[in-house]
């Protein structure tokens, strides 16, 4: 980002203006999350929490015992588990420009890695061998060709297309505080794990936010509310 942009970001972070945004998307399910993490380890905690009737949309990842470099991935592999479908989607370019991932460093960090330009094409043979081959058993490799490790000062941000090859790094001996946001085009909304947030219907949930922030989340509720309400109604009916 340009210096004037990162300077403005640094001026916002200490002021507490992020607080309302963070609080609005953070459900009170950390007790379940940490129980899952303690029982199953960091890798399984998210999947265990997803099985609950109220999904966890925002989590605080804090590895205590196992340092690891994250797995190389494209976000498209989660939307298209079938490899051929994923390849067709990337080759068609239909998802390009629909979302952007923004990572903001709160402390000095170089724990984001990305392969620039990879969102526009399918994996090379070497990339495929790391990300997809052998049931993804090599996806933690440190030999990804063309990988760029991004160094960020506090308040700096890196933005990239989440269809690109990327990963994070998580080490117990290195403090990492990163705010990760994914913005999706309103023209191509996706109802999934991240947008399924029925606690937004709780009375007074947005009451403490300023008008600008509240208006932002009201748009979110207007777009996805009917879908999560339908899911809640279905779950309630099945539970009877």
Residue-number span of the structural domain to which 77 is assigned: 3-188
Contact 144, 132 (CB under 8 A): no
**Domains in the chain: how many in total?**
1
Predicted model pTM: 0.69
What is the rounded distance in angstroms from the CA atom of residue 131 to the CA atom of residue 228? 33
Per-residue pLDDT of the chain (240 residues; tens, 9 = 90+): 444 444 433 333 333 333 334 444 444 443 443 444 444 444 443 443 344 333 344 555 666 677 888 999 999 998 889 999 999 999 988 676 688 999 999 999 999 999 999 999 999 999 999 999 999 999 999 999 999 999 999 999 999 999 999 999 888 888 888 888 888 887 778 888 778 889 999 999 999 999 999 998 999 999 999 999 998 888 887 877
What is the rounded distance in angstroms from the CA atom of residue 14 to the CA atom of residue 234? 43
In a domain, 144, yes or no: yes
In a domain, 152, yes or no: yes
In a domain, 96, yes or no: yes
In a domain, 232, yes or no: no
Three-class secondary structure of residue 138 per DSSP: coil
What is the rounded distance in angstroms from the CA atom of residue 188 to the CA atom of residue 161? 15
What is the rounded distance in angstroms from the CA atom of residue 178 to the CA atom of residue 157? 9
User: Where do runs of H (alpha helix) occur along the chain?
Assistant: 3-12, 19-24, 30-40, 42-50, 76-79, 83-92, 125-131, 133-136, 211-239
What is the rounded distance in angstroms from the CA atom of residue 92 to the CA atom of residue 184? 19
In a domain, 207, yes or no: no
């Amino acid at each position: 980002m340009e210096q004037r942009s990162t300077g403005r970001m640094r001026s916002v972070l200490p002021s507490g203006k992020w607080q309302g945004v963070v609080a609005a998307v953070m459900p009170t399910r950390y007790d379940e999350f940490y129980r899952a993490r303690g029982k199953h380890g960091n890798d399984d905690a998210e999947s265990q929490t997803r099985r609950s009737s109220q999904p966890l949309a925002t989590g605080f990842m804090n590895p205590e015992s196992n340092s690891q470099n994250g797995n190389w991935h494209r976000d498209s592999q989660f939307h298209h588990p079938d490899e051929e479908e994923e390849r067709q989607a990337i080759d068609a370019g239909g998802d390009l420009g629909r979302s952007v991932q923004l990572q903001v460093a709160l402390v000095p960090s170089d724990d984001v890695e990305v392969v620039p330009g990879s969102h526009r094409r399918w994996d090379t043979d070497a990339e495929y061998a790391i990300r997809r081959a052998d049931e993804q058993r090599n996806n933690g490799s440190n030999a990804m060709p063309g990988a760029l490790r991004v160094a960020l000062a506090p308040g700096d941000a890196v933005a990239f297309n989440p269809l690109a090859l990327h990963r994070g790094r998580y080490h117990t001996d290195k403090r990492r505080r990163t705010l990760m946001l994914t913005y999706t085009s309103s023209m191509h909304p996706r109802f999934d794990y991240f947008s399924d947030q029925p606690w937004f219907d709780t009375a007074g949930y947005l009451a403490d936010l300023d008008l600008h922030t509240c208006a932002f989340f009201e748009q979110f509720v207007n777009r996805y509310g009917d879908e999560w309400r339908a899911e809640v109604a279905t779950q309630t009916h099945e539970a009877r």
